[in-house]
């Protein structure tokens, strides 16, 4: 059996070396497209839709992401129908990032799938991994929310501005804080 490429390892959620040439090509593609997105006329919705459709794994009908926008690869991210992201969305989509339908993301939200070894040697050798993020339908993340690797946020949940979500949240709750804690049922 042939050994997997670093890109195949990354896509399978296994540890990989980040500066692999194949991965670098995927990253360069995303950088070119995000650069075009961030330079586009922000009122030209057709151009922005075409660029996001090319960049992302899926970009739902009626979805909108306001530039500036940054991501690692793009093709690992799906953005649901009628979902909206305000200015400054950052998606480190080393693993899959799934944003459901009718989601609202405040300004400067960060969806971070990347993980790094705690041990200094492997980290110095550029080993990385990632865990997927899933944002359910009709979720609202307030401004500046950070969602960490491996988190799932259940449908209809609201996360208060500035919160850091380090563990999965159930559906139909309000959560706030760093780390985010459920404070009420909806």
Task: Please give the residue range of the domain that contains residue 152.
Answer: 6-185
Which positions are catalytic?
Answer: 116
pLDDT tens profile 75-118: 999 999 999 999 999 999 999 999 999 999 999 999 999 999 99
Q: Is 172 left (phi over 0), alpha (psi -120 to 50) or beta?
A: left
| Residue 1 placed within a domain | no
| Residue 167 placed within a domain | yes
Number of domains into which the chain is organized: 1
The mean predicted confidence, pLDDT, of the chain is: 96
163-167: average pLDDT: 98
CATH number of the domain that 100 lies in?
2.160.10.10
What is the C-alpha separation between 55 and 2, in angstroms, rounded? 30
Structure confidence at residue 1 (pLDDT): 55
Structure confidence at residue 18 (pLDDT): 83
Q: Tokens for 77?
A: 């991210």
Asked if 153 and 136 touch (Cβ cutoff 8 Å), the reply is yes
Structure confidence at residue 163 (pLDDT): 98
pLDDT tens profile 47-67: 999 999 999 999 999 999 999
Q: Taking the CA atoms of the chain, what radius of gyration do you get in angstroms? A: 17
Q: What percent of the chain lies above the pLDDT cut of 70? A: 99
What is the pTM assigned to this prediction? 0.96
Q: Tokens for 102?
A: 């009718």
What is the C-alpha separation between 157 and 67, in angstroms, rounded? 25
Q: CA angle 97-102-104, nearest 5°?
A: 75
Structure confidence at residue 72 (pLDDT): 97
Structure confidence at residue 2 (pLDDT): 65
Q: Is 12 left (phi over 0), alpha (psi -120 to 50) or beta?
A: alpha
- Tell me how far the alpha carbon of residue 36 is from its chain's centroid: 19
Cα–Cα nearest to 163, from 140, 179, 151: 179
21-39: average pLDDT: 97
pLDDT exceeds cutoff 80 at 42: yes
């Amino acid at each position: 059996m042939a050994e997997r490429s670093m890109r195949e390892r990354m896509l399978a959620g296994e540890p990989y070396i980040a500066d692999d040439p194949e991965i670098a090509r995927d990253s360069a593609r995303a950088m070119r497209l995000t650069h075009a997105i961030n330079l586009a006329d922000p009122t030209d919705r057709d151009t922005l839709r075409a660029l996001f459709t090319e960049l992302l794994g899926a970009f739902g009908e009626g979805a909108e992401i306001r530039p500036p926008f940054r991501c690692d690869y793009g093709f690992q991210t799906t953005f649901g129908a009628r979902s909206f992201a305000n200015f400054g969305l950052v998606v480190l989509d080393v693993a899959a990032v799934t944003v459901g339908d009718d989601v609202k993301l405040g300004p400067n939200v960060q969806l971070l799938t990347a993980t790094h070894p705690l041990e200094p040697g492997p980290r110095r050798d550029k080993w990385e991994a990632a865990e997927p993020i899933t944002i359910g339908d009709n979720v609202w993340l307030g401004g500046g929310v950070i969602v960490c690797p491996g988190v799932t946020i259940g449908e209809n949940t609201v996360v208060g501005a500035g919160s850091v979500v380090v563990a999965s949240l159930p559906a139909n709750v309000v959560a706030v804080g760093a780390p985010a804690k459920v404070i009420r049922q909806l």
